[in-house]
Structure 1
């Protein structure tokens, strides 16, 4: 048995108002056969004729006049429902959890917080900092909603929006400033390196680069702690590391570290805004991601993300 639906009722109201199948089709942006089928479906569902048809158009039957009253009520109720839903989501979700890797978090979280506070004042925002592997696990488990990540090699479970790219720099003690402003990748094997353990994205990138230029890394320390710890080890003369310039810009300016751009080839990483493919989106996610995207763009354009380029 056929059932009533709001689309057919809306079509019925349009035909009743215009008193013409053809004019209703024009208003609805449909073809006449589609409108005729919708009216026929309604008549079958109600087991009643709704219109008298003539060469000059259509006229409501008694049953049609009865239905028109209810159909207009349905249309009004749906309009009110849409307005109520829009009002309930205007302030955004109750809570939003955003994660980022340390350098990204340090550079972007303050600006993102200000933007979200202005756009969604009722939303409780929680920021989480972590390395790539746990962040990806949190995304998959639904423990966070959005992540800002250095683009991982495997992206199958992610929806990815690349925001920017930045070059990696060689970070050394200031006593090594004789190395200069640039450093050839083929000479990386000459330096004692401090990098995360095998499997971490930065370590994989560094080893891939070394192999590409025909050398091998000289690992003096493995450090899976924060960038702050790695930079302190470099300051204390324990070795060199590789980081985005944004991570070390302040310490370089203070004369606490020396940095050199790695060249031949230049080493670049991309920063992406990511969500999990297997998780349902939170309300207003598109607007939230737009706010995050614009915040990052403004940071880069203002020069507050040293070494970054928009893509």
Structure 2
């Protein structure tokens, strides 16, 4: 019997931190805790986080995902708002209907909402750096009356923006943007409007910053980068972009190991692997296992930061769990 050929060697540089952030952990645990306390069904407005594996897992446990509250019956069961945040009209409607609403908005997104409100109360016109249509952007713009916030997505948008009063401006940003791209946008805004007021502390969240920094360290020294994450996940898409801009010959975003186009990895000897903030570690392991079936792996972790952030569950879930 012929011996099987030896597997080619593949050095894997595993980015750290990667995967779940504190806001995502809090959101998923909110659904699981609500199911444990109240039983199924628990309704969730929008995907709790942008990851199909996570959503499907929660659906199997009894979560029902809806896009709008008019899909939620008046049956007394909880309805949870996703980690991305919601416009003010959503909790207002929930209150009007006496729905049992639980807010799983990431506290770092809530921070941006509060900043926008303070600027508005001080009479400032607000510029939001973000991506049109993303739930977080919809939620932030929905905190204030229409016309209070102008969304800019590109440097060209900044150049076209005509404020009502150049001396009375502020900016906030989506929490999951590219750190480097956003810095360029902010510098452009400040160049045009030197008096514009920014956040006391950077809006881009710690998890986004740390994951991008790890990718920036790995990208220049690998032949390819695999980002585990969903196509509708902003922070996962940004990791792919950061890898490409940092010198990686090619980067791919995959949801599962089954999505990998193996022909593209034929000549790869050094591979970077990371995961977006809403991608569970089990999917990273699945991808590594798939590579291990084809290659002899040597795995090394490249760490950019140590994370110990923790966000408590929404108060009603904490209170009921303690009883």
Pair in the same fold by TM > 0.5: no
Task: Give the TM-score taking structure 2 as reference length.
Answer: 0.30
Bigger share in helix = 1
Q: Which has the higher strand share?
A: 1
- Kindly indicate whether structure 1 or structure 2 has the higher relative contact order, using CA contacts under 8 Å at least 6 residues apart: 2
After TM superposition, the score normalised by the length of structure 1 is 0.30
Rg larger in structure:
1
